[in-house]
Structure formats: C-alpha cells, structure tokens
Amino acid sequence: MVAVISKLYGLQHIETAEDIVSETFLQATETWETKGVPENPPAWLYAVAKQKTLTFFRRNKIFNEKVLPEIIGNDAVSDDEMLNFSNQNIKDSQLQMLFAVCNPAIASEAQIGLALRILCGFGIEEIAEAFLSNKETINKRLFRAKEKLRTEKIKMELPPEEEISKRLDNVLHIIYLLFSEGYYSKTQSEILRQDFCLEAMRLCLMLIDYPQTNLPSTNALMALMCFHASRFHARQTSENSQVLYEDQHESLWDHALINQGTHFLALSAHGNALSAYHLEARIAFWHCQKDDSAEKWEEILQLYNQLLLVNYSPSVALNRTFALYKANGKKAALAEAEKLRLENNHFYFILLGELYKDLDNEKARMNLEKAFSLAKTQTERLGIREKIDALSV
C-alpha cells in the first residue's frame, strides 16, 4: 500500500504514505476487535487506506493545487482510477519502488533497511535487531535515506530498457544481502531469519515475472536462494541451535525447493554471462547432494577458485579453504588457512580449530577459544563451547 500511494503522489510523500498505512492497520485492529474480521480483509484495508489518502491530500490542498494537475492534467478521473489497489498495480508499484530504493545515491545498509521497512513491512525493532543496532540509529538511517529520495528527486519508475541490466546489478545485490542477513542472522534470538529470506525470494520472483528483468543473473540468484532455503529445517534444532552441514539429515531437506533451484539454474545458463550468483548457485547445488566424496569437493573447490577471480572476498577465501580441506586434506588446507590471517573473523578461528583437531589439540583449543571471544551471539558461543568441550573427551 505504501508503494501504491508513493507511486501516485511521489516519493517526497513516502512518510505520509507510511503514516496513512499505519493508521489504516490501527483502525483495522480497533474495528475488527469489536465487529469481527470482514469477509475480505485486504479489500477492507484498501478501501480505508484509499479514503484516508484522498482525505489527507484534499485537506492539505496539495492534491487539488499541486499533485492532481501533475498526474492528470485537466482530465477528470475517478478515485478508483487514481488510487488503484489491483494486484497488478501493487506488483508494478513494488517493482518500481524496489528500483527506487536501490538507487546508488543511497548507502547499501540504508537500502536494505528501506527494503525491509517499505517493501517487506518489517518493524523498526526487527530491523534494529537484525543489524545489532538500536531503534534510534535505524530511524536516523531511514530518515537520511528518505531525504536522499527527496533531494535526489528519485522517481518511482523503471530505468530505460538500455539501463535496466546495469541498474539490476544493484537491485540483485540488495536482495542477496537481504537473504544473507536472514541466512546468517546476527540477532541474539535467532540463527536463521526465515522471514528475511522468504521476502528476498519474493522480491526476486517479482523480477523474474517482469520480462525486462528476467535475465540470467536474476535466475541464478533465485536458484542460489532456493538451494539454501531447501536446507532451512536441517540447519537448526527445535532449541534454535545450529546444525553444521556435515551433521544435517538429508530427510529434512526440501527436495521440491531443490528441484526449483535446479530449474532456475538451468534458466540462468542462457547467454554468455557468468556472474558471482551463477558460481555461488552451482556451489549451493553441490551442497544439496549428500555425497562427501573428494570428487564432489574438488568440483566445489574449482568453483570457489573461479569465484575468487570474479568476486574476491575474505569469506569466499575462507569457504574455499574449507573446500580445499575436504578435497585434499587438513595439511594442504592449513598451509592456505594460515596465510589468510582473518584476525577479527570468528569463522576463521573455528576453521583453524577444525583443521588442528587431532593434529595438535592444544592449537585447536587455542583457536576455538579465540573464536569464542569473537562470536557475536549466544547461539554461536554455545556451538563453539561444545567444540571446545569435545576436545577434552
């Protein structure tokens, strides 16, 4: 609803749109509690939001004096035509809002925050927890981002066709970061935020449904997210502790999602483009094969070698070292791991702990203790403590 209202009246009124939608849901809470939930809740919400929107703009004379002439000129239009909450218009508005939010003029963290707030409907407290921050900081970040939308006069529209693929890279990057934020959750209470991940997948499907953005890289990202999402239920216990890949039960994997991932991966193969999403999707595909052979890990290792050339990052280098360990053994991996020197990364010290285990248990313990001191959440610390205790057995 925020996207539809902002599309009609302009992004300079985005906060007004948010207020109107908040008031609409507040009225729903109060009314439905006494009168019961209506037969068609979305239609009720749209009708109330439409009424509140038109009342606001008319009351403030913005509608009649400034907004209306820009939208319709001298032609009269009905309220229904002006504020259209049809499924297609909602989808079109969200797609345009996605490109507006992902404008390069806005910092990437603020882009994720705006996407979570406006497109996915998350509350300020939820966003603050996800970023290990506080409400005041998130509110300031979102305020600055909205100011950018105004001062840069960013419009809610798709870029020209010749620019779509260039701008799409930024949109896909934000969806990727949103999914990653859920998949490797840093919140104190959860190791996996499935709601973040599912919203990222929903936004990506929206791009796939639009011909101009249904490109190989879009399908590759969707495949990657399907493969990761297929192992959600195997990644955590009912007590919300993490289950490492080698300890996961294949019976808990969602094979329908794996098949969906394979479908999107096949679609991504059209053309000559090879993005980081293609390589990561291939790696994720191999992780959905419950086979611990050296051949499988050699394939993953080669994919990581390519990924380092396309998109180097410390985490890719770290994951590549783990693949090297599985393919060629601990000694080969240790030689590479010691070169990385990721002194502030607890995953790095967890890997060193694993590599030194049974070779030099004292060094293994030392590295795991370092990992414990760097871990950001209680869930991670509990998992590391289990590894340290296991060395004493």
pLDDT digits (tens, 9 = 90+) for 139-194: 999 999 999 988 888 888 888 887 787 789 889 988 998 888 888 776 655 667 88
What is the structure's pLDDT at 80? 52
| The pLDDT of residue 131 | 75
Number of H helices, E strands in the chain: 22, 0
Q: Are 94 and 148 in contact (CB under 8 A)?
A: no
CA separation, residue 191 to residues 185, 221, 315, 319 (Å): 5, 22, 18, 19
Residue 188 confidence (pLDDT) = 54
- State residue 9's pLDDT score: 86
DSSP 3-state percent helix, strand, coil across the chain (nearest 5): 75, 0, 25
Dump the DSSP string for 161-186: HHHHHHHHHHHHHHHHHHHHHHHT--
pLDDT at residue 17 in the model: 93
The answer to whether the CB of 321 falls within 8 A of the CB of 333 is: yes
Burial class (CB in 10 A: 0-12, 13-18, 19+), 9: buried
H or E element at residue 105: none
Residue 233: per-residue pLDDT: 83
Cα separations in angstroms, 299 against 17, 148, 280, 306, 310: 50, 45, 12, 11, 17
Q: How far is CA 122 from CA 12, 47, 59, 162, 227, in A?
A: 21, 22, 30, 33, 25
User: Which residue from 200, 238, 236 is spatially nearest to 221, judged by alpha carbons?
Assistant: 200
Cα–chain-centroid distance for residue 299? 27
Q: Which residues of the chain register pLDDT less than 70?
A: 61-81, 186-191, 237-242, 244, 392-393
pLDDT tens for 203-257 read 999 999 999 899 999 999 999 999 999 998 887 766 656 676 777 788 889 999 9
Measured CA to CA, the distance from residue 196 to residue 194 in angstroms comes to 5
